[in-house]
């Protein structure tokens, strides 16, 4: 009887430890999410201030056949512009290059460029980044504004779930803009494919973030 009682207590203790660990991980992830969102908005405000400032250095125009894009340097990183997704109430800076450490800070240009109509932007699945990307539907609007002030208006054409190794489907999709992020757990990718609308638009108010 005593053995069964000790076993029961041990199971309860193990269950409690697991619950506490899960809650700690959840709180940590939410804290990281909130911090990433706050950091991105701070960068966005700095970028907007530079872009709209009275004194602005001229940026060299890229070769139309090149995927290189004009950049702004902020806090040791290069940024090519900012992305606005009205439906998700998102306005986020976009880094010029990507790696896993950069993804924790802001969305990153992974391939291509806006001028060459083959821009691919990846972001973490933080709620403050691309965590709600799967809510976008055909016809939803997306805007990318480069640091040179050029604004590109897009419309969502389709979306889907891809495997991590389906790089070609993202890089050579044939669409003008691809946004993607990991699903929860990282086993798949949520990808949203957009084409330019051809409409000239004014740069949206980047200060209106999540």
Q: Tell me how long the chain is.
A: 210
Q: In which residue ranges of the chain is pLDDT below 50?
A: 25-26, 28, 55-66, 201-210
Q: What is the DSSP letter of 182?
A: E
Q: Which domains does the chain have, with CATH numbers?
A: 1-53+68-210 (2.40.260.10)
pLDDT at 39 (0 to 100)? 78
Tell me the whole-structure pTM to 2 decimals. Answer: 0.74
Nearest in space to 129 (alpha carbons), one of 75, 182, 187, 76: 182
The two three-digit tokens of residue 158, written as one number: 């389709």
pLDDT at 22 (0 to 100)? 54
pLDDT at 95 (0 to 100)? 95
pLDDT at 75 (0 to 100)? 85
- Asked whether the beta carbons of 81 and 112 are under 8 A apart, the reply is no
- Asked whether the beta carbons of 141 and 149 are under 8 A apart, the reply is no
Distance CA 129, CA 147 (A): 20
pLDDT at 65 (0 to 100)? 40
């Amino acid at each position: 009887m005593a053995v069964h009682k000790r076993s029961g207590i041990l199971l309860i203790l193990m269950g409690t430890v697991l619950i506490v660990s899960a809650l700690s991980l959840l709180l940590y992830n939410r804290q990281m999410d909130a911090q990433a969102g706050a950091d991105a908005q701070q960068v966005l405000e700095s970028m907007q201030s530079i872009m709209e400032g009275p004194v602005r250095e001229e940026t060299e125009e890229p070769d139309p056949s090149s995927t290189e894009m004009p950049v702004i340097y902020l806090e040791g990183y290069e940024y090519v512009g900012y992305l606005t997704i009205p439906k998700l109430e998102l306005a986020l800076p976009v880094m010029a290059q990507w790696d896993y450490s950069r993804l924790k800070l802001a969305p990153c240009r992974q391939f291509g460029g806006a001028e060459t109509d083959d821009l691919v932007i990846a972001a973490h699945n933080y709620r403050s980044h691309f965590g709600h990307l799967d809510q976008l539907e055909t016809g939803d609007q997306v805007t990318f504004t480069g640091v040179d002030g050029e604004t590109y208006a897009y419309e969502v054409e389709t979306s889907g779930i891809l495997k991590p190794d389906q790089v070609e489907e993202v890089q050579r999709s044939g669409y003008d803009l691809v946004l993607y992020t990991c699903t929860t757990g990282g086993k798949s990718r949520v990808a949203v494919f957009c084409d330019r609308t051809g409409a000239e638009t004014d740069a949206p108010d980047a200060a209106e973030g999540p």
